Structure 1
C-alpha cells in the first residue's frame, strides 16, 4: 500500500502534468488558429511508424475540417508549428517575405557531419546566399548544354544494358527504381565529377553501393531524420548525421582525388569540379584555404550527388510506373520520341529533347503526383528590428521568432479544388491551353522563390535522356509483381515505394525498324 504522502505526491505530479499538457496543447486554441488535436503532439504516426511525416502533412492539408483554413496549427511533440494551405499565403512566405523565412528549420550536427551541415540544402544565411551565387553558374542553360554530350553517352550505355537482356529473352522483369538508380548514378558521376562510375555494368560498384546505402530506410536513419528535421536544436547533442561516416569518407577521398587531378592537368569540363577548383584557388590566393573550407566544398558535391541521382531516378521510376498502366499514353510518347530520333539519325540534340512537348507534359504530371520533395520547411527568423510576420488578413496572429513553418507540396498537388480527379494520371493537365487555367502557386515540384531547387533543369534533363533511351527500342508493361497502387515507405523523408516497383520491359526494336523504313 502506498503511504498517504506518496499518494499525495503522485496525485500532485499527475495534476501538474495534466495542467502542463492542457496549457501546452492549448496554444493554437488560445490564438484562434484552426488546429489538429494533439496526441503525442501530432507526431504519433511518425513515432509509431504507421505513416511518414510528409504524408501526415498531406493529411493535415486535406482534412475536411480544415478545407477553408489558410493555415493549420500542429504540435511537434509539444512544440507549435504551422502548416500553410492557402496559395497566396504560401507565395508570401516563399517569395514575397522570403527574407523572414530564408532558412530551413532542419539542420545537421556541424561537428560530426560537416558534409551534411555545410551543403546548400541545409546551410543558413549568409553562407547560403554566398554559396548559391557561386554555384549557380554551373546550372545555367549554357553549361548544361555543354554537359549534354556526356549525358547522351550514359544514355547509350543504358541502351546497351537493356539490349544485353534481349540475348536470351525479348522481355524481362526488372525493378525500375534500381535500373533508374544505376543510370542516374553513372550520369551524376560523369557530369559532376568527371568520373566513370560504371554502375550499369557493375551494380555493386562503390558509387552505387554508397548511394544505395544513403537512401536505404532504417530505424536509425529515421531517428536521425526526425531529430534533424523537427528538433534541429538537438542535432549536436544527439550527433545527428545526414551523411554516414562511411559515405563522408568515400566522398572526401573521391573529391580530393578528382580535384587534385583537375588542378594538375589544367583540364576544364565546365562541371561542378571546375567550380570547386576555382573556389579553392580563390581561397588559396587570399590565404583563406583550410580543412573547413575543403569540407564546405566537398559538402556541395555530397548534396549534388545524393540529390542528383535520387531525384532523377525517382522521377523516371514513377514515370515508367504510370505509363505501364496507360499503354495508350505510352504509345503516344514513344511515337513522339521515335519520330524525333528518326529525324535526327538516332541522337537527339539538346534543343530537340528539351522541346518534345508530350515528354515534357508527361514529366510535369509525374511531378504533380509524385513531387520529389513532398514538403517544404522554413523557420521564421526576421532580422533584428524587422517586424515579425503575421497571418493577416487570414488570422490576427503574429508568428513567433523561430517557429517552423511547413508546406505540403503533395497536399497542394493533389487538391481537387485545383486539380480535378487529382489521383488520376493525366498529362493533358499541362498542355498549352490547360496551363493557362492553373492557379498560381498550386504547382511547385521544385519549390519556389530564391531557395527553390538549383538543379531542377539538370534533373529534368537527366530523366528525359533516360526515358528517351529506354523507349527508343523498349516499352514497359505491368507484371505479376507490379503494385496495384503506390504506398510510400514511412521510414523515408522523400517519396519512395518500400518494396520496389517491378515492371516488364519488352524489346520491340521500334527505332531500328522505323529508321530502316
Structure 2
C-alpha cells in the first residue's frame, strides 16, 4: 500500500512538472504542436511514423502566420524559424549570437568532436580560416580529373553489365550506385587511394565508410541524445563512430601522410592540402579566381574564413578534418545525386535537353572533361540547382543561441517580444522553405527554368539555402557541385535513365533512416544512349 502511494505521488509530481514544462511556450505566446509527455515533439520521429523531413515540414506548415514556432526536444525548448528575414538576420547580421551548432557528437569522441562542424567559438573560426583556402575554385580544379577517373570506372562497370544482360538494359539501385561513386571520389581526392567500389563491391574502404557515414536509427538516437543532454553523453562516453572505424581512418590518414613526407610525394588532393594547412603554408589567393561560373548554389566565403591564422594542428585535428570531408562527401553528395537521377528519370524532356547540352559540350571539347567544361554549362547548373531545391541533403540547419537574443514578436498580433535565453537551439527548416509556394510557385514541380537567367532573380535569394547561410555555411559547396556535375555529365553522355517497375512513384521517404532516402530504394533503368 505504501509503495502504491509513493508511486502515485511520483506520478503526480512528474505530471505537474511536465505540465509546467510544456506550458512554457504558451505563456510566452509561441505557437507549437501539442507535445507527447517526455518525448515532446520528437514522438513522430522516434516511433517512425514520420521522416525527419516530414516532421519539420509539419511543424513549419501548421502555423503559416507565425515568424517562428516552438518545438520540444523531449523537455528541451527549441525554436523553428519561419520568417526569411529573421533567418537571414540570425545567420548573417547577428551571427555572433548564433555562432555554434547544436552538439551532436559527444566531446569524448576524439575524432568527431574535432571536425570543423563540431568546433565552437574562436576555435571554429581559427579552423575555418585554416581550411577555407583548400576549397577555392582553383583547388577544386585540380581534383576534377580524379572525379572523371572514378566516373570512367563507373561507366565501364555499367556498360559491362548491360552488355551481359539479355534485355539490353539493367535496373540499378541508384543510391547504391551514387554512394559507391562518392566513396571512390573521396578515397581518391581526400585519401589519395585508388578504390573501385563498382567492381570490388566489398572493399574495406567502402565497408568502413558505409558504417561511418550512414546514420542508422541507433546512430540517430545517439546524436539526438548528445544534442539534448551533452554532459550526460560525455559522462557515458557516447560515440557514434565504432572503435574499429576510427582506427581504420586514423591509420590510413597518418600512414599516407608519413609516406608522402618520407618520399617527398606531392599529389594535388585533400590530404596534400591538409598537410599544407598543418604547416601553415595554405594561404588565401591574392588574385581570387572568378566564381561566376561555379554555380548558382555556390556559397561565398565570409570574412571569418578569409582571415590569416597560424595555429598548431594536432594529429587528431588533421584526422578529424579528413574524416569530415569523407562523411560530408559520402552521404550528402550521394543523396543529392540519387535524387537528381530520380527527377531526370521522371522528367524525360528535361533529361533530353540536358543530354543534348552534354553531347554538344563533349563534341566541342573533343571528348575531354575538365573543370572549365562543367562550369560553363548553363542548363546543367539550372538542373542541379533545382534538384538541390527540391531535395536539399541538409534538410535543416541548426544553431545554438550563445547570448540572450530578442527574436521580436512571433506574429503581427502579438503584444510582446520573445527573448530566448543562451543555450536555446534554433532550427531553419530548409526543405520546408524550399517547398513553400510563397517563395517557389508550384514547388513540387521539377522546373529548372526557375534558375534561368530570366527567372533566377524573381525569387527571394535568401529563401534558397542548399548549402546553408552565413559564415557557417558549407565549406565544400564547390567540391559537391563539381562532383554532381561530373557524374551527371558522364552518365547522361552514355545512358538514358528511366523509371522501372521498382521505381518509387510518387516519392515517399524511408522513415527507417535519418538520411534522405526513398522507401523501397532508388531503382531506375539504364539503357545505352543512341
State the TM-score, normalizing by the size of structure 1. Answer: 0.91
Summarize deviations over 1:100-124 as a string: whole Å, max 9, x none. Answer: 111011232232x211110011111
Change (3 A) 1:188 1:498: same
For structure 2, the residue ranges without an aligned partner over 5 or more in a row are 282-310, 411-415
Counterpart residue number, 1:496? 517
Which shows bigger deviation, 74-83 or 262-271? 262-271
8 Å contact kept, 2:499–2:525 = yes
Counterpart residue number, 2:501? 480
Counterpart residue number, 1:470? 491
Aligned counterparts, 1:198-217, within 5 A: 198-216=196-214
Aligned counterparts, 1:94-243, within 5 A: 94-111=91-108, 113-169=109-165, 170-216=168-214, 218-243=216-241
Take 1:41 and 1:238, find their aligned partners in 2: how far apart are those partners? 23
Take 1:450 and 1:20, find their aligned partners in 2: how far apart are those partners? 39
How far did 1:236 drift? 1.0
8 Å contact kept, 2:214–2:515 = no
Counterpart residue number, 1:391? 407
Take 1:49 and 1:171, find their aligned partners in 2: how far apart are those partners? 36
Change (3 A) 1:61 1:233: farther
How far did 1:6 drift? 6.0
**1:340 and 2:337 are equivalent in the alignment:** no
How far did 1:270 drift? 3.2
Find the residue that maps to 1:241 and give its secondary structure: coil
Aligned counterparts, 1:221-300, within 5 A: 221-281=219-279, 293-300=314-321
Counterpart residue number, 1:445? 466
How far did 1:492 drift? 3.1
Find the residue that maps to 2:454 and give its secondary structure: helix
Change (3 A) 1:398 1:128: same
8 Å contact kept, 2:333–2:480 = yes
**1:358 and 2:357 are equivalent in the alignment:** no
Match for 2:456 among 435, 443, 449?
Answer: 435
Summarize deviations over 1:183-210 as a string: whole Å, max 9, x none. Answer: 1111111112211112222121111111
How far did 1:53 drift? 3.4
Aligned counterparts, 1:319-330, within 5 A: 319-330=340-351
Change (3 A) 1:260 1:419: same
8 Å contact kept, 2:333–2:484 = yes
Find the residue that maps to 2:471 and give its secondary structure: coil
Counterpart residue number, 1:47? 46
Aligned counterparts, 1:44-83, within 5 A: 44-63=43-62, 66-83=63-80
How far did 1:176 drift? 0.7
Counterpart residue number, 1:423? 444
Find the residue that maps to 2:502 and give its secondary structure: coil
Take 2:159 and 2:320, find their aligned partners in 1: how far apart are those partners? 37
How far did 1:503 drift? 0.8
Take 1:476 and 1:368, find their aligned partners in 2: how far apart are those partners? 21
State the TM-score, normalizing by the size of structure 2. Answer: 0.89
Aligned residues: 492
Which 4+ runs in 1 deviate beyond 6 A?
A: none
Find the residue that maps to 2:121 and give its secondary structure: coil
